[in-house]
Structure 1
Amino acid sequence: MELNEKELEILAIMEKDARTSLENIAKMTQLSVEEVQDVIQKLEKENIIVHYTTLVNWSKVDSYHGVTAMIDVKVTPKRGVGFDAVAERIYRFKEVKSVYLMSGAYDLSVTVEGRSMNEISRFVSEKLSTLDSVVSTTTHFQLKKYKHDGIIYDQNNDDRRIVVSP
């Protein structure tokens, strides 16, 4: 679908912060609130805006003990459907948070979340690696998150302005 300049501008604003008010988006794009609302509804209907999410810094929550792993998966694509059928089988598992087709040394990049490393290792050995098309997996456990979706975690909020004195 071809989007005009204002629609692209609204998408960029919302991608940076989906909680930006309609009034602020209208001011930033020099459109009316109604026009902004119509554009957003159109983008949602066309499945261009797919979902609204919240980024959470779970490392700040003492009671949270979840684990995230990135798994490199080599697969044998299926005749007629390529990698799509294999990717669909993988993304249907509840543990899987994302699946991407990649170029390079492996075919799919799979992000998995679980309560422990043991839980993720069971997922890999009992569910993922047993799929017919899966040739091999390499699991990387996430130790610390520094930046995600353009947002820097644990940013030092010191005042970085230069002191100017007469």
Structure 2
Amino acid sequence: MTDKELEILRIIEEDARIDLNTLAKMTSINEEEIKAILKKLEEKKVILNYSTVVDWSKVPQAEQVTAMIDVKVTPKRGVGFDEVAERIYRFSEVQALYLMSGAYDLQVVIEGKTMQEIARFVSEKLSSIDSVISTTTHFQLKKYKHDGIVFEEGEEDRRIVVTP
């Protein structure tokens, strides 16, 4: 990976909506070369998606429940955790899945409309997988920061600073 490619990746990771003209000025690379670099990185699956961070708590009709589920599994000979991970990430409710160190092997992040919907996912889908030994579910109560973006920053302190 070239320094130019790394520089572009760092910039678009912060703002995927940045226009090519601005990106070209920031990197001193012409727009056509930027397009070619972005296309190459997309084809190589370095850039997987361009996404938006939404504060869903401000959209009452779209509120959802997010849960992090710690999962202990029995790895299979020859494929380790990959086979069971693939079975889990294929469920539509699964937003993210991570191989973890520590007491649990996998962490599954899921979203649902209600806590009962998540409970049904755990009991009917996740726990029924042969390799799954145990689960521990944690419900997200409030989001303070996600992908480097702070939610609901406090208002600026408008008091006059008084020093002796």
Cα deviation per residue 1:116-145 (whole Å; 9 max; x = unaligned)?
Answer: 000000100111011000000000000000
Identity %: 64
Cα deviation per residue 1:23-47 (whole Å; 9 max; x = unaligned)?
Answer: 1111111110111111001100111
Question: Which residue is equivalent to 1:105?
Answer: 103
Q: TM-score, normalised by structure 2?
A: 0.93
Structure 1: 5+ residue stretches without partners: none
1:98 shift after superposition: 0.7
Q: Does residue 90 of structure 2 align to residue 78 of structure 1?
A: no
Question: Which residue is equivalent to 1:140?
Answer: 138
Letter in 2 for 1:99: L
Change (3 A) 1:121 1:79: same
Question: Which residue is equivalent to 1:155?
Answer: 153
Q: For 1:24, what is the secondary structure of its paired residue?
A: helix
Question: Which residue is equivalent to 1:57?
Answer: 55
RMSD value over aligned CA atoms?
Answer: 1.5
Structure 2: 5+ residue stretches without partners: none
Cα deviation per residue 1:72-124 (whole Å; 9 max; x = unaligned)?
Answer: 00000011100000000000111111110011110001001000000000100
Q: For 1:125, what is the secondary structure of its paired residue?
A: helix
Letter in 2 for 1:133: S
Mapped to 2, the partners of 1:29 and 1:155 lie a distance apart of 31
Question: Which residue is equivalent to 1:36?
Answer: 34
1:155 shift after superposition: 1.6
Q: For 1:112, what is the secondary structure of its paired residue?
A: strand
Q: For 2:70, what is the secondary structure of its paired residue?
A: strand
Whether the 8 Å contact between 1:65 and 1:116 is mirrored in structure 2 is no
Q: TM-score, normalised by structure 1?
A: 0.92
Question: Which residue is equivalent to 2:126?
Answer: 128
1:154 shift after superposition: 0.8
Q: For 1:26, what is the secondary structure of its paired residue?
A: helix
May I ask how many residue pairs the two structures share in their alignment?
A: 160
Mapped to 2, the partners of 1:10 and 1:157 lie a distance apart of 33
1:52 shift after superposition: 1.0
Whether the 8 Å contact between 1:67 and 1:141 is mirrored in structure 2 is yes
Letter in 2 for 1:147: K
Q: For 2:66, what is the secondary structure of its paired residue?
A: strand
Question: Which residue is equivalent to 1:119?
Answer: 117
Mapped to 2, the partners of 1:87 and 1:65 lie a distance apart of 27
Mapped to 2, the partners of 1:119 and 1:132 lie a distance apart of 21
